[in-house]
Structure 1
Amino acid sequence: MKRSIEAIAAADYDVIVVGGGIHGSWVAHEAAQQGLSVCLLEKGDFGHATSANSLKIIHGGIRYLQKLDISRMRESMREQTVLMDIAPHLVHPLPILLPCSRGWKNRLFTLRVAGILNDMLRMGGSGSIPRTRTLSGAACRELTSYRAIREMDGALLWHDAQVHNSERLVISILHSATAAGAQIANYADVTSLIRSGSRVDGVEVRDVIDGGTYRIRARLTVVTAGPWSSSLLPDTEPIPLIKGINLVIKRPPPGEFAIGLERKCPTSTNAGMGFETGRFFFVVPWRRQTMIGTYYFRAGNSDLSLKESEIDEFRREINRASGLDIRPDEIAWVHAGLLPALPAGKGTLRLAERSLICDHGRENGISGLISLVGVKYTTARAEARKAVALCNSKLGRSPKVSNPQTPIFGGNISCFSKYADQEANNHPAVDPSWLKGLISNYGSEYSRVINRDSSRMRSCIGNRPFLTEAVLFAAREEMAVRLTDVLLRRTDIGGTSVFDDSSLVECCTILAEELGWDDQRKQLELANARRVLQARWAGPDQP
């Protein structure tokens, strides 16, 4: 993965993908696998916006049983299985408890029926997902001292999956896309579409780093820019948006499982969006801390600014639902993202439930243009495959048969725990927990990151082993061009505990030497990183 917008602009393509989040990355990957010449352009860093700011759960779709939407449930199950198969270092099974209050025996029976249906629909799927079961109140109390569980009559226990590092999943997809021939660039801001009458022939792009401008031509342009799509799409109304936030709390999780907590009632800010009483928060283990979400607010256009009052409202709502008594100073990080919405009547909004793939030649007479507005991280690959199938149809090509089970970068692992143990045995001088952390991010490609010389394998920044190597690998092989790229999206530093300032300076010094920054650029990068870490969240428009 070498960044050069100038080199990209020297060629023409079958497909240009605008937007490098989870949906755009999968489109580039699938197009390259299909033998299409494709380039991807992202105005910020890859996966820097909503794709990075999720609850990290890969849903199997059990909640779709409420509406008997079996087709969506099957699709979610299938995609969940595929992700665990092709990225086993990043995506793991996650047990989830949905407790029932005292006196809710009928509901526990309903949940038991839902669990049976869930298992029936999953038959023939991944064998790594255990069967659903119900637990008695006594069994719940044996699991944890967590008050929300101990006060319950019973619970449904099912398994979804969790992505350890959603940012690295995007990077891993792009690694595999470039290996298949895709050309990609971050900090490549598509400022306008190139039009020839009613046809789109490509894009005009500005290099955010050096200010250079380029024209890149393609037979098709696929816009996957999420909430920012409307600014590029002609004759298109802005998409109504909802802002979703999750909080990372400086507390150990209740166990190696997530918990669903029923919210008590809509609040004044939140009630105008069609969210009914009974919607659940999920308390999720994440990097030895606890993540809780999701809470929603109205968003104006593509505004992803966060207010302390919004964070505090969510914190108070969690406390009402859980009795956790979370203090403001316990909030380690805030994940925030923008999601497409639909009018729900009487001035309210509701979350969009289905992705939208639009052939603008058919819809509004602008040929050569396709857009994809996705709604679910879990099913992004499936939606991308549909978009690429449309590209093949528009180009008059027969789709190439590809194997959806082919591992992505780092995913050549049959069993994660066995692989981690095996590699630990191969490196007895290295702390197994350090090595496991490295494998969790890079999988079977971890040896490309570290220096095999055992004297160098223990190099640390602060108390973090291998970070020197990870910083260098990010700069040399993963298009990290800013300090926050490394902290937030190439490693797992950001979003958890405080990273001390001396280690921050050391990371910046290594990156500055590698990328040739002068002192002024170095100070700008440090100031921006400090601002982001102090604010406890990373917005999409970092300077």
Structure 2
Amino acid sequence: MTQESPAAIHDLAVIGGGVNGCGIARDAAGRGAQVLLLERGDLGQGTSSASTKLIHGGLRYLEHREFGLVREALAERERLWGIAPHIIHPMRFVLPWTKGLRPRWMLRLGLFLYDHLGGRQALPATRTIDLRRHVAGAPLRSGFTTGYCYSDGWVDDARLVLLNARDAADRGATVRTRTQVTGLAREAGLWTIDARTAQGAPLRFRARALVNATGPSVLALPGAGQGLTGRRMRLVRGSHIVVPRLFDHDFAYFFQLPDGRIIFAIPYERDFTLIGTTDRDHEGGLDRIAASADEIEYLCAAASRYFARTVAPADVLWSYAGVRPLIDDGSDLPEAATRGYRLDYDAGGEGEAPALHVLGGKITTYRHLAAEAVSLLQPRLPMMRGGDWTATAPLPGGDFPMTGLPALLDGLARDYPFLDAATIDRIGRAYGTCARQWLGDARSMADLGVHFAVGFTQAEAVWQMDREWARTADDMLWRRTKLGLRFTAADVAALDQWVKDRG
């Protein structure tokens, strides 16, 4: 027997728990809609947690004359930093000039535009550096003399998704993870949504409007309507590798390659370096996306062109990949395909419920996309009031000044002296001011319950299960944190057993 949703009719059903879907759910809930968010797996389990972890304008998109996209993304950088200063922070990138590749004048012109297109205020401007004397030149091979140092931002992408969902739920949204949509139908002026739980139990929901934010699966959502007729998407796989730390400073690198592509090398989780990304057309299924052996080899070889220390596949501690759903604009090369987005609005026939399909996009522009999407639906959902409100409203834990993270970390270290410096840093950057809600009045590690490993305790695990929709050790160790890089197999097994015992 199919179980009906407890709410007879939702105003808006959002299908897809990636960054765009969660951003839309948050925005709509904040405008007064009764929102239902359905995700077939864990929040951010797909493309949205497999990015290069950057909030950036996309310097290389200037070459493809995507000035509007770059301007929009640059304008969003400081807005996002302002609403989530715990999970987003500024980062300086070093771009070495390489003889035989893009000329100096082109790099200087591109960086001048990058500094001035998006209304930069708090981030420092580009400057030219001498790599023979600058700290960022020390890990590089000999021969690099001139570099350009510019600003962009870093983000914990999986937690960005999660915090948008948490804020949506705090504003009244119903968030259901591990709920697979199996069919959609327009009936009596509403959408009827059939779904099933992870255990196979059938569910049915009804909504006045629908958003299809399923990312790479956007064209395959069963029964989504006629609004996607003739649309084509280009699925492009981006792969990354994580290796032991290659340098001892906080600068990141932007490296040019002879094939015209670029890669980043970014300080990651204190003890590691993140290298990516590739751009390969993806064929096949979407359930188990992984970096191929030749992509790993490509990234190692690319990094070894610049670093004095050779990077080999044997050095790779972890690799991951995601499939970007790009609008098929006919580009010859996957890296040239637009990173812009399109919102396809399907009003339906007379008396039918509307649908909105989200095609393309990038993590930096998710908030702007969400505001535009909700505004498009607002005339059909009169219960919603107001306009774009998310540009200044902090995400959970981000209610402190965007330059105030050091003070927040100092306060946690003072009040919880039994936590080591690495754990304080990790907790503060993950939870911001919400950290105190689960740390509470603890005066020792024992007050936080079972200590699984490297500062991860029962109190944190309970918070993640009760407030962050975590259901497995994998959810905790690879999305809500990146402690999977530090847990041993025995540590993982102990946590997994605890999760199963708790239910």
TM more than 0.5: yes
Q: Which residue of 2 aligns with 1:284?
A: 266
- Give the counterpart of 2:392 among 392, 402, 405: 405
Q: Which residue of 1 aligns with 2:107?
A: 111
Deviation of the 1:121 alpha carbon: 3.5
Q: Which residue of 1 aligns with 2:72?
A: 75
Distance in 2, matches of 1:137 and 1:408, equals 38
Aligned partner letter, 2:264: F
Aligned partner letter, 2:195: V
Aligned partner letter, 1:295: T
Q: Which residue of 2 aligns with 1:152?
A: 144
Distance in 1, matches of 2:106 and 2:219, equals 42
Q: Which residue of 1 aligns with 2:192?
A: 202
Deviation of the 1:363 alpha carbon: 11
- 1:85-128 Cα offsets, whole Å, 9 max, x none, are 11101000011011112588x933443344344333454x442x
Aligned partner letter, 2:27: E
Distance in 2, matches of 1:405 and 1:391, equals 22
The answer on whether the counterparts of 1:483 and 1:508 sit within 8 Å (CA) in structure 2 is: yes
Q: Which residue of 2 aligns with 1:318?
A: 302
Aligned partner of residue 103 in structure 2, secondary structure: helix
The answer on whether the counterparts of 1:59 and 1:161 sit within 8 Å (CA) in structure 2 is: yes
Structure 1 runs not aligned, ≥5 long: 266-277, 516-543
Deviation of the 1:65 alpha carbon: 3.9
Q: 1:194 to 1:454 in 2, by over 3 A?
A: same
Distance in 2, matches of 1:435 and 1:6, equals 44
Aligned partner letter, 1:173: N
**TM-score normalised over the length of structure 1:** 0.83
Distance in 2, matches of 1:345 and 1:51, equals 23
Q: Which residue of 1 aligns with 2:293?
A: 309
Q: Which residue of 2 aligns with 1:357?
A: 343
Q: Which runs of structure 2 are paired with 1:307-456 in the superposition (5 Å)?
A: 308-315=292-299, 317-319=301-303, 321-322=305-306, 324-341=309-326, 342=328, 344=330, 350-361=336-347, 367-396=353-382, 399-401=385-387, 402=389, 404-414=391-401, 415-455=404-444, 456=446
Distance in 2, matches of 1:85 and 1:355, equals 23
Q: Which residue of 2 aligns with 1:183?
A: 174
Distance in 2, matches of 1:261 and 1:224, equals 33
Distance in 1, matches of 2:400 and 2:5, equals 33
1:489 correspondence with 2:479: yes
Aligned partner letter, 1:249: V
- Give the counterpart of 1:51 among 48, 52, 71: 48
Aligned partner letter, 1:55: T
Q: 1:7 to 1:434 in 2, by over 3 A?
A: farther
Deviation of the 1:380 alpha carbon: 0.8
Q: Which moved more, 1:227-236 or 1:19-28?
A: 227-236
The answer on whether the counterparts of 2:348 and 2:354 sit within 8 Å (CA) in structure 1 is: no
Distance in 1, matches of 2:426 and 2:187, equals 51
Distance in 2, matches of 1:156 and 1:70, equals 21
Aligned partner of residue 89 in structure 1, secondary structure: coil
Say what the alpha-carbon RMSD is for the aligned residues.
2.9
Q: Which residue of 1 aligns with 2:280?
A: 297
Count, aligned residues: 489
Aligned partner letter, 1:482: T
The answer on whether the counterparts of 1:12 and 1:217 sit within 8 Å (CA) in structure 2 is: yes
1:33 correspondence with 2:30: yes
The answer on whether the counterparts of 1:115 and 1:133 sit within 8 Å (CA) in structure 2 is: no
**TM-score normalised over the length of structure 2:** 0.89
The answer on whether the counterparts of 1:61 and 1:74 sit within 8 Å (CA) in structure 2 is: no
Distance in 2, matches of 1:345 and 1:425, equals 54
1:11 correspondence with 2:8: yes
The answer on whether the counterparts of 1:23 and 1:224 sit within 8 Å (CA) in structure 2 is: yes
Distance in 2, matches of 1:224 and 1:366, equals 20
Q: 1:68 to 1:297 in 2, by over 3 A?
A: closer
- 1:323-350 Cα offsets, whole Å, 9 max, x none, are 5532222111112111124253679885
The answer on whether the counterparts of 1:250 and 1:330 sit within 8 Å (CA) in structure 2 is: yes
Q: Which residue of 2 aligns with 1:480?
A: 470
Q: 1:260 to 1:217 in 2, by over 3 A?
A: same
Distance in 2, matches of 1:400 and 1:514, equals 42
Deviation of the 1:365 alpha carbon: 11
- 1:442-486 Cα offsets, whole Å, 9 max, x none, are 110001222522123576645411432221211222222223222
Q: Which residue of 1 aligns with 2:494?
A: 506
Distance in 2, matches of 1:71 and 1:453, equals 50
Q: 1:39 to 1:112 in 2, by over 3 A?
A: same
Q: 1:67 to 1:484 in 2, by over 3 A?
A: closer
Q: Which runs of structure 2 are paired with 1:457-476 in the superposition (5 Å)?
A: 461=451, 463-476=453-466
Q: 1:253 to 1:362 in 2, by over 3 A?
A: farther
1:100 correspondence with 2:90: no
Q: 1:403 to 1:201 in 2, by over 3 A?
A: closer
The answer on whether the counterparts of 1:359 and 1:370 sit within 8 Å (CA) in structure 2 is: yes
Aligned partner letter, 1:21: G
Deviation of the 1:6 alpha carbon: 6.3
Distance in 2, matches of 1:158 and 1:12, equals 49
Q: 1:484 to 1:466 in 2, by over 3 A?
A: closer
The answer on whether the counterparts of 2:278 and 2:295 sit within 8 Å (CA) in structure 1 is: no
Distance in 1, matches of 2:63 and 2:331, equals 22
The answer on whether the counterparts of 2:241 and 2:276 sit within 8 Å (CA) in structure 1 is: yes
Distance in 1, matches of 2:335 and 2:277, equals 16
The answer on whether the counterparts of 1:108 and 1:154 sit within 8 Å (CA) in structure 2 is: no
- 1:273-331 Cα offsets, whole Å, 9 max, x none, are xxxxx221111111121111111222125435436433444245425643553222211
Distance in 2, matches of 1:465 and 1:69, equals 44
Distance in 1, matches of 2:61 and 2:160, equals 25
Distance in 2, matches of 1:339 and 1:308, equals 16
Q: 1:299 to 1:61 in 2, by over 3 A?
A: closer
Distance in 2, matches of 1:95 and 1:423, equals 26
Q: Which moved more, 1:236-245 or 1:305-314?
A: 305-314
Q: Which moved more, 1:11-20 or 1:346-355?
A: 346-355
Aligned partner of residue 334 in structure 1, secondary structure: strand
Q: 1:411 to 1:7 in 2, by over 3 A?
A: farther
1:60 correspondence with 2:61: no
Distance in 2, matches of 1:445 and 1:307, equals 35
Aligned partner of residue 378 in structure 1, secondary structure: helix
Distance in 2, matches of 1:365 and 1:76, equals 37
Distance in 1, matches of 2:284 and 2:382, equals 36
Aligned partner of residue 139 in structure 1, secondary structure: coil
Aligned partner letter, 1:108: R
Q: 1:98 to 1:419 in 2, by over 3 A?
A: same
The answer on whether the counterparts of 1:145 and 1:254 sit within 8 Å (CA) in structure 2 is: no
Distance in 2, matches of 1:184 and 1:192, equals 18
Aligned partner of residue 471 in structure 2, secondary structure: coil
Q: 1:345 to 1:95 in 2, by over 3 A?
A: closer
Deviation of the 1:64 alpha carbon: 4.3
